[in-house]
Every structure is written in C-alpha cells, then in structure tokens.
Amino acid sequence: MPTGSGSGSGSAAVERCARAVADWEPRVQAWTQLDLAGAAQAAARSDAAAPGPLTGVTLGVKDMFDTEDLPTEYGCRLFAGHRPRADAATVALLRAAGAVVLGKTVTAELACLHPGPTRNPHRLTHTPGGSSMGSAAAVATGMADVALGTQTAGSVIRPASYCGVWGFKPSWGAAPVAGLKLVAPSLDTVGWFARDPALLDVVRRVLGGGPQVAPGVPPSGFALVRTPEWDLASADSRGAVEALAVVLRERGVPVDEETGIARTAGEVGVLAGVVAAHKTVQAVETVRSLAWEHRQPAGLSDELRAVLDEAATIGPAAYEAALGRRARALAELPALFRGADVLIAPAATGEAPAGLGGTGDPLFARCWTLLGLPTVTVPGAIGATGLPIGVQLVGRPGADAQLLAVARWLAPNPVPTVAARP
C-alpha cells in the first residue's frame, strides 16, 4: 500500500482504486462525483513529472471543499451544480504534492445532521458516521488511499471509529481552510482518513509543514481520561480504551488513570461543562454562517431547518459564557495532561448504530474539538456485534507531529481494506 514515499505509480494506484470502486461503490455509495478518466490523465501527468511526497496516492475530497474540475454541492440541494473557479487550498496543496483526486465524497447536508446515502462497508444496514461519511467509507474499502474530511464536532474521529480506519484531526488552524465552506469557524478543522498512520503524517507535512518526528521513540507517558461523559460510552467502547492502557503498560509505558478527574464532590474537573459549551458555540456559529441558507427553508432538510431555528434563539450571553468556559479549560490544560504526552479516551459511544437515518453521536469528540487539540482515531478493536470500535488519542496543543509519531509507534502496520463484500 502507498505510504506517500513519492515512489509509487499514480496510474497503477488509479487502476487499483477503480477496481475497488467497481466492487464497492454500488453498495456503499461513498461518492457524489467520480471522474476516473480524469484521474487517469492526472496520474499519467504526475508519473511523468518529478515525484512528490504523495505521488502514487489517490485522494477523495469531501464535498465541502471547492474543486475547480468537479461540482461542489456541500450535500445540499440549494447548491446543485455549483462549480467553483478554483481548488480549495488543501486540495491544491495535495495535488501539487502528487496526489490524484478521484472525485468528491458524500457529506451530510452542509456538514451538519441530515445524512447522505453512504453505508457502513462493514455492515450495510448501519451508518458509517458523519458528516465525513463518504471519505471514511471510501478509505475503508480501498476506493481511495486518503480522503479529506472536516470536523466541527466529531466528523472525522467518529466515522473513522465506525469504519475501522485511521482518522486525524489536527490542531485547529494547522491546515488551511480557504475554499472550504465553513459552518462554525472557531471549530471547523480540516481532517483526513487513511489506512496507514505513516500516510496521515505525510499529509500533515504537506498541508501544515513541519518536520517528521521519528516514530521509534515511545512517549514518556499516557493518561486514560474518564471524561464526565464516560458512563455514556458502551461497555465495549470503554473496554477498548482500558485494553489499550493494558497494552501500553505491558510495553513499559506509564499510564495515569486519574488525570483530569474531579476527585471530590466540590471539585470542578477541567472538562466539566465543556461538552455543553461546545454545543452552544457550534449552534450559534452555525446559524450565523448559514444565514443565507436559513432564509431558503424550502431548500433544506427538515432536520437542518429545525436545528437552525432553535440555534437562532440562543442569545449572545450564552455564547459568551461558552467561550469563557473554553478559555478556562484551555488555561487548565496543564493540569489535565500533567506528566502525560497523550490522553486516551473513547472515539465514539460504541459501534456504528443501525439504520441510515442518522450518523451517530459525536459526544466523545466535542470537548477536544472545542479546545482545538490534535486527535487521532486508532482502529483495531471490535465491538460486541463485530463492528469496529476505535480509541481516541489526544495530543497537547500544537503537538500534531508528536501525536502522529505516537500513533505510528503504537500501531505501525497499515489497516487492511474490508476483506469481503457484506
């Protein structure tokens, strides 16, 4: 599998992914636009040029990013047939590094609630998660090597967990958002999926710069964080987190299980109230960002229209209070991490829920998104019914390279694609 070494063949990669598309796409429906012929031409040009760090790597682009050669519809009928003039900055940078765009992946409507048609490749009757649903499913099935997503609450971490792939949300602001349709500007973060943690890091360096951190040195310590919402995770999701702590201890790495917990009845934990603050910030910024769309109610789903109507009732005092809660939590982060480099927490409440009418609960990503911290979903655990469950690693502010080095040290081998059609 490609790792972004710059030595692969783009043409061979497109052919490989085209076979996976023929096999999986009729069932999974991960793409809203596919241009395999155009991808083959782009791959031939890439192969003839000097190799870049992503030569031989195929790319899916969530349909929230502008693309000059493909429609960008944001999963919303109000934008049917919309054709931007230019690529989003993220797309342009990845193309310049040698990646070949195969098409646009399905997003929930305006990266909010109403899901697209994509199905979970591990069980077609279950959601792949949202809102970056198409990107996670495309990577899981081998239809793309890397796929771009976005995260406002849990839209990278959760679908990566549900689909059994690596998903990385960098620190807020680490990847450019020019040409991305923003929903909540102080939360929205570019993220991406891959089956190989090394490839996650190549993309990080292309998009944000910075040196590679060698993965061979283990971190000095982890902290298992039982957030205030811990009991809302399923037993198998909590078990996956605790099992990882056992593995780390067996490798000789200390794991603190008390960091960040309120230990007495009168003590307020670092993360107390942070999830509620995230919900308020997301709601207020979404109704502001989608002000034009809110005035076109016939073009929106009932779900999104109701969310925007409710968000419009939130006053400025509640928003300011939520921002204040974020500021206090950020000031208290040293107490949360203490001697740990990386926090361990659930990536999702459990396995992917049955049904295609929703995308699951982003609960366990909300606090880290509000705080702008880098996070990565580590795949590998299996839930009670046989579906994937990921574990979330959380890094210190700005420690994106170090977090991905830890991910590579923890699980250096690529995740295979889904082996057989359901």
pLDDT reading at 199 higher than 80: yes
Q: Which two tokens stand for residue 167?
A: 């998903």
pLDDT reading at 290 higher than 90: yes
Of the ranges 100-114, 187-201, 261-275, which one carries the lowest mean pLDDT score?
A: 261-275
CA distance 260 to 271: 7
pLDDT reading at 103 higher than 50: yes
Q: Which residues contact 271 (CB under 8 A, 6 or more apart)?
A: 225, 227, 228, 260, 329, 336, 367
pLDDT reading at 247 higher than 70: yes
**Measured CA distances, 110 to 114, 135, 375, 409 (Å):** 8, 15, 23, 36
Of the ranges 5-14, 45-54, 60-69, 346-355, which one carries the lowest mean pLDDT score?
A: 5-14
pLDDT of the residue at 263: 41
Q: Which two tokens stand for residue 72?
A: 């960008």
pLDDT in tens, 379-395: 999 999 999 999 999 99
Task: Break the chain into its structural domains and give their ranges.
Answer: 10-219+403-410, 274-318
Among residues 11, 46, 62, 104, the one annotated as catalytic is: 62
- Crossing angle, helix 363-371 and helix 274-289, to 10 degrees? 80
Residue 186 falls in the annotated catalytic set? no
Q: H helices within 129-190, ranges in order? A: 133-140, 157-163
More confident residue, 214 or 403: 403
User: Can you tell me the mean pLDDT for 216-242?
Assistant: 91
Among residues 46, 132, 155, 301, the one annotated as catalytic is: 155
User: Can you tell me the mean pLDDT for 49-60?
Assistant: 96
pLDDT in tens, 315-337: 999 999 999 999 999 999 998 99
pLDDT of the residue at 106: 98
φ, ψ for residue 280 (rounded to 5)? -70, -45
Residue 155 falls in the annotated catalytic set? yes
pLDDT of the residue at 210: 81
Q: Which two tokens stand for residue 344?
A: 């361990």
Residue 171 falls in the annotated catalytic set? no
**Measured CA distances, 33 to 59, 66, 98, 103, 138 (Å):** 13, 13, 20, 5, 12
pLDDT reading at 266 higher than 50: no
220: phi > 0 → left, psi -120 to 50 → alpha, else beta; which? alpha
For residue 291, count CB atoms less than 10 angstroms from its CB and return exposed for 0-12, middle for 13-18, buried for 19 or more: exposed
pLDDT reading at 3 higher than 80: no
Strand partners, 34: 103
Length of the chain, please? 422
φ, ψ for residue 62 (rounded to 5)? -55, 140
B/e letters for 240-272, b = 16+ CB within 10 Å, e = fewer, are bbeebbeebeeeebebbeebbbeeeeeeebbbb
pLDDT of the residue at 213: 84
User: Can you tell me the mean pLDDT for 190-205?
Assistant: 97
pLDDT in tens, 405-422: 999 998 888 888 886 544
DSSP tag of 49: S
Q: H helices within 74-173, ranges in order? A: 89-96, 133-140, 157-163
Quick one: CA dihedral 202, 205, 208, 211, positive or negative? positive
Q: Are strands 222-224 and 342-346 parallel, antiparallel or unpaired?
A: parallel
Helix (H, G, I), strand (E, B) or coil at 317: helix
pLDDT reading at 93 higher than 60: yes
pLDDT in tens, 274-288: 999 999 999 999 999
Q: Write down the pTM of the prediction.
A: 0.96
pLDDT reading at 42 higher than 50: yes
pLDDT band of residue 1 (cuts 50, 70, 90) is: very low
pLDDT reading at 268 higher than 80: no
DSSP tag of 349: S
Cβ-contact 187, 204 below 8 angstroms: no
CA distance 193 to 166: 6
What is 10-219+403-410's CATH number, 3.90.226.10, 2.60.120.10, 3.40.1710.10, 3.90.1300.10? 3.90.1300.10
Among residues 11, 46, 131, 301, the one annotated as catalytic is: 131
